[in-house]
Amino acid sequence: MDKLLIQGGTPLAGEVAISGAKNAALPILCASLLSAEPLQLANVPHLNDIATMLRLLAQMGVEVTLDGSEGLALDSRVLSNPQAPYDMVKTMRASILVLGPLLARCGEAKVSLPGGCAIGARPVDQHIKGLQAMGAEIRVENGYVIARGKLRGARIVTDMVTVTGTENLMMAATLADGETVIENAAREPEVVDLANCLSAMGAQISGAGSGVIRIRGVEKLHGATHSIMPDRIETGTYLCAAAATGGNVRLTRTSSAFLDVVIDKLLDAGCEIDIERDAIGIKAPARLKAVSLRTAPYPAFPTDMQAQFMAINAVADGAAVIRETIFENRFMHAVELIRLGADIRIDANNAIVTGVPRLNGATVMATDLRASASLVIAGLAAQGETLIERIYHLDRGYERIEEKLSRLGASVRRVH
């Protein structure tokens, strides 16, 4: 199993390009199931989750053709096997996103309940409830969601804001009879990116990015070309890495448009931020100021950036309170940061972080994707050598992370 060895204490400096967004690419890959014509995608990141999804689609009958380093074409003319087996989806919760498109296109689907990071409950009941409202017959049997039926438009009010739930129901509704209205919809930029791709395929969607999305079903969708949006969480992670190390970094092929609250917190921490049309620069002070935050659905502070800010608060001046409101088990990285010398106290869903003069290298273990990122940031800021175990989590969401960090002057290498 691969590990990451970091020799910390060096400020990051230089320029690096941001990859396409994993959380936008995964549902858009699933959208290819809705049309018998090819979907051509650009800016697709090379990640383990993407590879898993492509293998899943291929076993359903989708033809996958690579087009250069960041492009691919998906041809779903023949869907011979509308199933998602457990052994292919056990490591990835996004696999549930094939449920809506398969049901809409084939009238049936058998999808294993998904796995993924162990950061709390991520129930699929909102997906099931919404599809049932659209006329689907669904039962859960032996760990599988088994669905069939012809979908019709419906008014769906989700009990909670759910990104994958919104995406699944939006995709299913594109081929349903009549109009579907999704209320309490997720407003994340990745939902908007999916809606833009579906619209390019001929779907009739309005309201994406707001709390109410309307979809008028059409008889069929056609092929299209779409470029995946930049990864806002990867962007935020590299900004935090630069901040924690006292660095001066410019990130290209990205946008500040979806990062307002993250950038505001970095400004509060004392960083200088330079925003360009498709790039962001950051210059960190000699010593950061601690910043408190509370996670909440977009456009509030993203839960996927909570761990990274815990790492920068660990080396900041003062104390901060981090409150996690999305997932009930997302402070597992705190214990590992403490191994590096961080001063962190957990009280229910609050983490009280008091900055220390410096962290010291140690062996730590990644527990989930974003926890992995926080340990990398802490390791870069720490004095001495840090060894991060179980970095397969990192490979699910960060493309060529050791290569990109090395470009910024970090001493990082993969240990097999």
Paired tokens of 323? 């409150």
CA 239 to chain centre: 17
Residue 265 is labelled as binding a ligand: no
Flag whether pLDDT at 123 surpasses 80: no
Flag whether pLDDT at 121 surpasses 50: no
Q: How confident is the model at residue 94 (pLDDT cuts 50, 70, 90)?
A: confident
Residue 304 is labelled as binding a ligand: yes
How far is Cα 174 from Cα 382, in angstroms, rounded to an integer? 50
Looking at per-residue pLDDT, the higher value among 296 and 119 belongs to: 296
Tell me the backbone φ, ψ of residue 363, rounded to 5 degrees: -90, 125
Paired tokens of 274? 């330079």
Residue 90 is labelled as binding a ligand: no
> What is the average per-residue pLDDT within 53-73?
93
* Ramachandran quadrant class, 409 (left: phi over 0; alpha: psi -120 to 50; beta: rest): left
Task: Look over the chain and give the mean of its residue pLDDT values, rounded to a whole number.
Answer: 94
Chain length of the chain? 416
Q: Specify the pLDDT at position 169.
A: 98
Residue 23 is labelled as binding a ligand: yes
CB 214 within 8 A of CB 205: yes
Flag whether pLDDT at 122 surpasses 70: no
Domains and CATH numbers, the chain: 3-19+230-415 (3.65.10.10), 22-227 (3.65.10.10)
Residue 263 is labelled as binding a ligand: no
Residue 308 is labelled as binding a ligand: no
Residue given tokens 């659209």 in the structure block? 134
pLDDT tens-digit series, residues 327-383: 777 798 999 999 999 999 999 899 999 999 999 999 999 988 888 999 999 999 999
- Residues recognised as catalytic: 117
Q: Specify the pLDDT at position 200.
A: 98
Residue 124 is labelled as binding a ligand: yes
For 268-383, strand residue ranges (E) read 272-275, 279-283, 293-294, 319-323, 343-347, 350-354, 363-365
Q: How confident is the model at residue 115 (pLDDT cuts 50, 70, 90)?
A: low
CB 326 within 8 A of CB 301: no
Whole-model pTM over 0.85: yes
Flag whether pLDDT at 117 surpasses 60: no
Q: Specify the pLDDT at position 264.
A: 98
Q: Specify the pLDDT at position 339.
A: 97
pLDDT tens-digit series, residues 167-222: 999 999 999 999 999 999 999 999 999 999 999 999 999 999 999 999 999 999 99
Picking from 183, 239, 241, 238, the residue whose alpha carbon sits closest to that of residue 212 is 183
